[in-house]
Amino acid sequence: MSERNIELSRRLVEAFNRREAEAWIAYCDPSIELHPLVQGGVSGNVYKGHDGIRSWQRDLEEAWGEDIRLEPEAYFDLGEYTLGFLMLRGRGGHSGVEVAMASTVVTRWRDGLAVYSKGYGRREDALSDLGVSEDELERIEP
């Protein structure tokens, strides 16, 4: 079990919640590829590299302001991958509409740095992409 990757996943969530792009980047390989579930309202964006992470953070701030956060429910260690079940909560920066939605994040790690991260709106889609079932996984509390 790679407790190191689970701890790194926790730190990514913490950096996200603090809106500290440079702290987030510190856990990312320069070639990171990010497929976020939520971005600045533009569906399907892929952000690449450290500059991509900075761009994503700006897009988030523009769309959500400071009022968006992730609440971890459970983590799972899959070797080079970690899986996180999270609750995303926020309020639209322009609309003021409150959002609460389950989300799942898959992150691939290499040498202590995230090289790939993808957010899912449906847990089943993430599990399918990983080729595992939830019953096979050992839950790690946040």
Residue 133 included in any domain:
no
Domain that holds residue 95: 3-125
Q: How much is the pTM?
A: 0.91
- What three-state secondary structure class fits 20? coil
The answer to whether residue 32 sits within a structural domain is: yes
Q: Which residues pair with 103 in a beta bridge?
A: 86
SS3 call for 78: strand
* 136 occurs within a structural domain: no
Neighbours of 135 (CB within 10 A): 6
Task: Give a yes or no: residue 47 inside a domain.
Answer: yes
- Strands annotated E in 23-80: 28-35, 47-48, 68-78
The answer as to whether 137 is a domain residue is: no
Encode pLDDT of 47-99 as tens digits.
999 999 999 888 888 877 777 899 999 999 999 999 999 999 988 767 778 88
Instruction: Report how many domains make up the chain.
Output: 1
